[in-house]
Structures are given as structure tokens and as C-alpha cells.
Structure 1
Amino acid sequence: MSVPAVDRLTVYGASWCPDVRRSRALLDSTGVEYAYIDVEQDPAAEAAVRDLQGGPRRIPTLVWPDGGHLVEPSDEELTARLDRG
């Protein structure tokens, strides 16, 4: 299975995860639109994340329409990627 093609930023996460909440707060504060998918509620999404990462399920996983992705980014890493477009 592979991560499906997306037409905007997609954030894979879980509601209990502080890193997911932090990344979403940064995106929200900058007005970035994104789709949020809870991997604990969507088994296909969890499988896609595991496939993308080669086995583990680390969250948040952010996937851009160009196929680029970040796994457990710091605020600095996420901001730098957003600045690139």
C-alpha cells in the first residue's frame, strides 16, 4: 500500500499525541490549509504511514501534494518546509 496522492497538505496523526497537536497548532497559526487524518480511526491511513516510513508508525507525518513528507518535524523544520512552498 502507498500513501494516496493528495491535492493539499495532509497531516496524519492521533489526537492524544502532543507532537501532532504542536504541528497542527503551527499550521493553524499560519493559516495553512490541510487535511487531518487520525491514524487510530483509519486503518488504511495507518498502513499508508507505515508503508511510507518503512514499517514504524511515527506521527505526525505530513505529506505534501508533491510527495514530499516530514516525520515528527520540529517547529523549525516544519516552518522551513512551509517557507519553501
Structure 2
Amino acid sequence: MSEPTIEFYGAQWCGDCRRAQALMEHFGVDFNYHDIDASEADKARAIEISGLQKIPVLLFPDGSHLSEPSSPLLQEKLTELNLI
């Protein structure tokens, strides 16, 4: 059985998205990437999750989410969920 995956909503032009993606790849954390520029549905879902028009939006397996997290905050959350 595979571990639940993080849903990652972002865009290629977004520096915070690239930073968050690099951090998760560095630690080998699995995630599903949703490009909000390629899908209006993904864009709407990101706003629905966070209530904000900020990216990245990260939806975690426990149902919590972070919007535009700093690297230390994201690393803390991944540690809390035993993903790293």
C-alpha cells in the first residue's frame, strides 16, 4: 500500500512554487503536481482549499493545508506528518 500523497497546486512561473517543489524533491516526498495555468478546475480547487489566490497551495494527507509556506514551515509540516 502506498502512502497518501500531497496535492501540490502551483505554476511554473512561481518562485515560491519552485522552491517548495525543490524542497520536497530534496527529501524524496511524493506529491501530485497540479498546474493552475493548465487547468481552471485546478486553479479553482486551490482557491477553494486555501480561500486565497496565493500559490503554492499544499493539501496534506491529514486534510490540512499550507498556502505560500516558507521552507522552514514546510519542512516542519513534513516532519510533523512523518514524511521526512
Structure 1 runs of 4+ aligned residues shifted over 6 Å read none
Aligned position for 2:80:
84
% identical equivalent positions = 38
Compute the RMSD of aligned alpha carbons.
Answer: 1.0
Question: Residue type of the partner of 1:15?
Answer: Q
Task: Provide, for residues 9-62 of structure 1, a one-character-per-residue CA deviation record: whole Å limited to 9, x for no partner.
Answer: 0110000100000000000000001110001101111111112222x3210000
TM-score (norm 1): 0.86
| Higher RCO (C-alpha under 8 Å, 6+ residues apart) | 1
1:49 and 1:11 map into 2 onto residues whose CA distance is 9
Aligned position for 2:47:
50
Maintained 8 Å contact 2:11/2:17: yes
Gaps (5+ residues) in structure 1?
Answer: 1-6
- The number of residues matched between the two structures is 78
Aligned position for 1:14:
11
Gaps (5+ residues) in structure 2?
Answer: none
Maintained 8 Å contact 2:50/2:66: no
